[in-house]
Structure 1
Amino acid sequence: MSYISDIRKFVNHAPIFMPASAAIIVKYDKILLQQRSDNLKWGLHGGSMELGETLEETLIREVKEETNLDILSYCFFKNYSGKDFKITYPNGDVCYVIDHIYVVDQYKGDLKPQKNEVKTLQWFSFDEIPWDDLMHHNKIILKDFMKSLGK
C-alpha cells in the first residue's frame, strides 16, 4: 500500500495535499510523455511521496516504476501548487498536488511502461506535444519549461 492509499481509508474522496515529484525527461529536442491508463491523458512521469522519502528519491522511484529508466542526473526546475494543481481522478479522489519538477537528460535503460498506470510512452518534439490531451497541470509546467528554453 502507499501513503496516499492509507490516507484515503480515512478521508475517502475528500481533498488532500499530495507532495509529489515529477520529471521532464528530455532527449535532444524531444520530451518523453506517458499516456495514463485511467483517463487516457498525456502527462509527465512522477507521483506522490512515500513516508520517509526525499523528493529526489520519489523522483527516481516514480520514473523507474513508470518508464523503467534509471536516472543518472537531474536538475531542479520549479515547484508548483495552488488551485491550478487540483486533480480529480476518475475514481473521485481529489488532490491538491505540491509538485516538485526536475529536468532529466541523462538516464539509462529500455523504455517499458508500467502495466497498471501507463498505457504507452512516446517521445514528442516540442511542436508535436498533444496539448489538447495533456493533463491540465502538466500544460502549465511544460509551457513554463518551453518558455525557459526560449521556445
Structure 2
Amino acid sequence: MDYISSLRQHIGTQPIIMCGACVIIENENGEILLHHRTDRDWWGLPGGAMELKESLEDTARREVLEEVNLVCKKLNLLNVYSGPELYYKYPDGNEVYNVTVAFTCKDFQGEIVVEKTEGRNAKFYNIDELPMNLSHTIKPILEEYITRRKG
C-alpha cells in the first residue's frame, strides 16, 4: 500500500498537504508531453505523490516511468509550486493541497505506453497549441515554463 493510501485509512478524506513531482518532457521538436487523466477529462503532466524514503527526483522518474513508460535521465529543476491554486478535490472526495516540484527533461528514452488505470492518452503538444482542458493544478507550472522559453 502506498503512503497516501495508508494515511487515508487514518484520516479519511480531510485535506492533507501532499508533496509530489511532475516533469515537463520536451522532445527534439520543442513539444511537451501531456498526459490525459482518467479521473477527470483533463490533460496534465506526468507526475504524482512522493513515497516514503524517496527523493523528489526519484518520485519524478518513477511517476513518468509508471504513467507513460519513459525513462528520464537528466532532470532540471523548474520551480516549486504551492498554495490555494494547487488545491484539488479528487472524485472520491479526498482533498489535497499540493506542494509540487516541477522538473524539465529533454534527456529521456523509451516509447510512450500509457498505464490505463491513470491515463487515457499521452502525446506531445506544441506550446502554442495546448488543449483547452488542462488541469488547473498544472496551469501555473506551464505558464512559468512557457514564459521562460519565450523570454
TM-score range, shorter chain: over 0.9
Aligned counterparts of 2:73 and 2:137: Cα–Cα separation in 1: 26
Who is 2:33 aligned against?
32
Q: Is 1:15 matched up with 2:18?
A: no
Q: Is 1:3 matched up with 2:19?
A: no
SS of 1:21 mapped into structure 2 = strand
Given that residues 23 and 46 in structure 1 are in contact (C-alpha distance below 8 angstroms), is that contact kept between their aligned partners in structure 2? yes
Percent sequence identity is: 35
Who is 1:141 aligned against?
141
Residue 126 of structure 1: how far off its partner (Å): 1.0
1:108 partner amino acid: Q
Aligned structure 1 segments of 4 or more residues deviating by more than 6 angstroms: none
SS of 1:133 mapped into structure 2 = coil
Q: Deviations for 1:87-121, whole angstroms, at most 9, x for unmatched residues? A: 11111110000000000111111100012101100
Who is 1:44 aligned against?
45
Higher helix share: 1
Aligned counterparts of 2:150 and 2:124: Cα–Cα separation in 1: 20
Root-mean-square deviation over aligned CA pairs: 0.9
Q: Is 1:56 matched up with 2:43?
A: no
Report the number of matched residues: 150
- State the TM-score, normalizing by the size of structure 1: 0.96
Aligned counterparts of 1:146 and 1:56: Cα–Cα separation in 2: 22
SS of 1:22 mapped into structure 2 = strand
Q: What are structure 2's unaligned runs of at least 5 residues? A: none
SS of 1:62 mapped into structure 2 = helix
Aligned counterparts of 1:57 and 1:134: Cα–Cα separation in 2: 25
Higher strand share: 1
